A and B are shown apart, each in its own frame.
Chain A
Amino acid sequence: MSETIAITLTINGESVARDVEPRQNLVDFLRDTLGLTGTRWSCEHGVCGACTLRVNGALTRGCLVFAVQLDGAAVETIEGATQSGSIADLQQEFHRRNAVQCGFCSAGMLLTADTLLREKSDPSREEIRDFISGNYCRCTGYQAIVDAVESVAARRKGGKPKTGKP
């Protein structure tokens, strides 16, 4: 049993002030306290990537930070990225190419893919596979995701999509 600690942080651009138990991780804080259920948990030990979001602009596992550590921090979740439109091209391409099936990995996968494209404008398929290799997907087998990211990379760069599929 632990007392709560007051934190104030920014979630998707909005200031949020809450009292949190020290043992509550960021994913549980978002989902249970704030009702932002778009971020998922699936392993709670940092391996599967379902909880991946951004803290202070950096890709982060939501299950491996405690909410109490994030006083003053800025958190971006799938809800915020959707609302801002910053990943609209990825979402559209994932949809078009069926790079989403059950949807459970998608939030983490999209934010990870977007981060890759911000760091590298022309990743090879191997580089895409390497960068998303920390995001577990059981449904797609990954190829459609790689195709989608490759396609968006080309468009963001101003070129034409590389893969033959229309």
Chain B
Amino acid sequence: MRLLEPELLIDLNGLAELTGIDETAGGLRLGALTRHAELSRSPLVARLAPLLARAAPHIAHAAIRNRGTLGGSLGHADPAAELPACAVALDALLHIQGPKGTRRIAARDFFTGVFSTALIPGEIIVAIEVPKPAPGTLPLFAELARRQGDYAIAGIAGTARLEAGLLREARLVFFGIGDRPVEAPQAAAALVGRQPEKVDAAVAALARDLDPTADLNASAAMKRQLAGVLLGRALGGLMVQAA
């Protein structure tokens, strides 16, 4: 159908160095060829980056998840995709390799626009490094899509740490509402020291963090509305996990 007409097709699937999920001193290293299905199954991911395991079942359907890859999703940089937002929320570091050698790019610096990244021609993602989470860190995830597996109309990926029933740290990243994953630091700050169900201040703070773009599915105002709802529901999910 000519949606893409590359002159050269390079199959990366045989490159063993792009595979593997390994625990490192600093945390977790995932090869770029890690399949979405592996994210759901891996005990290492469950322990060291459970946000990825929470997000993966929302990606399309089983047949896609068997072949779609973490590196591929990050490199494709669809603003409505789950994994780029998760990478930002986890403070992931992308290991890049190109003709001029290797470099590292922080996830929060990697996504530059719709289907745009900091990669320069000739570079590929080879691995993603996720720092070891602080003890007690829990994943936050919620998305709204018209149908199971669709790209999100709006979604939230993040982490939070609870101590004695109060939020100590939160990291919130929204997807589907802008041209790239959007962090919500003011909303996150407004959560600190509060119980997870007391979200009103955080939802109000979202108005300062987010400036959503309208699309086929939602106006900017609707995206704002949905972001607030998602924040409340993701935090509600936190309570269930912590219990």
Which residues of A pack against B, CB within 8 Å? 22-23, 44-46, 49, 52, 58-61, 64-66, 68-69, 112, 115, 130-131, 133-134
Are A45 and B3 neighbours in the complex by a CB distance under 8 Å? yes
With A69-B13, A133-B147: A64-B67 Cβ-Cβ less than 8 Å: yes
B residues 214-232 touching A (CB-CB < 8 Å): none
The distance from the CB of B67 to the nearest CB of chain A, in whole angstroms, is: 6
In terms of DSSP, what is the predominant structure of the interface of chain B? loop
- A131 engages B9 (CB within 8 Å): no
Do A66 and B62 form a contact, CB below 8 Å, given A45-B1, A60-B67, A133-B147? Answer: no
Q: Roughly how many angstroms separate A78 CA and B109 CA in the complex, as a whole number? A: 46
Contact of B148 among A22, A23, A60, A130 (CB under 8 A): A130
Q: Is the CB of B1 within 8 A of A115?
A: no
7 closest Cβ pairs, A-B complex: A134-B61, A58-B66, A133-B148, A59-B63, A61-B63, A69-B11, A59-B62
Q: Does B189 contact A (CB under 8 A)?
A: no
Minimum CB–CB distance from B86 to chain A (whole Å) comes to 21
> Once bound together, how far apart are the Cα atoms of A66 and B4, in whole Å?
14
- Residue of A45, A52, A61, A131 with most chain B CB atoms under a 10 A cut-off: A61
Instruction: Tally the A-B contacts, defined by beta carbons under 8 Å.
Output: 48
Cα A49 to Cα B61 in complex, Å, equals 9
Taking a contact as CB atoms under 8 Å apart, the answer to whether A52 and B1 are in contact is no
- The chain B residue sitting closest to A131, CB to CB, is B62
Please tell me if the beta carbons of A134 and B63 are within 8 angstroms of each other in the complex.
yes
Residues of B within 8 A of A64 (CB): 64, 67
Q: Return 23 A-B CB contacts under 8 Å, by A number.
A: A23-B9, A44-B1, A45-B3, A46-B60, A46-B63, A46-B64, A49-B63, A52-B63, A58-B66, A58-B67, A59-B62, A60-B63, A61-B63, A61-B67, A65-B67, A66-B9, A69-B11, A112-B62, A115-B62, A133-B61, A133-B147, A133-B148, A134-B60
Report the separation of the CA atoms of residues A1 and B11 in the bound assembly, to the nearest whole angstrom: 18
Bound form: Cα–Cα A115–B65 in Å: 14
Q: Is B193 on the interface with A (CB-CB < 8 A)?
A: no
Give, as a whole number of angstroms, the nearest-CB distance from A59 to chain B: 4
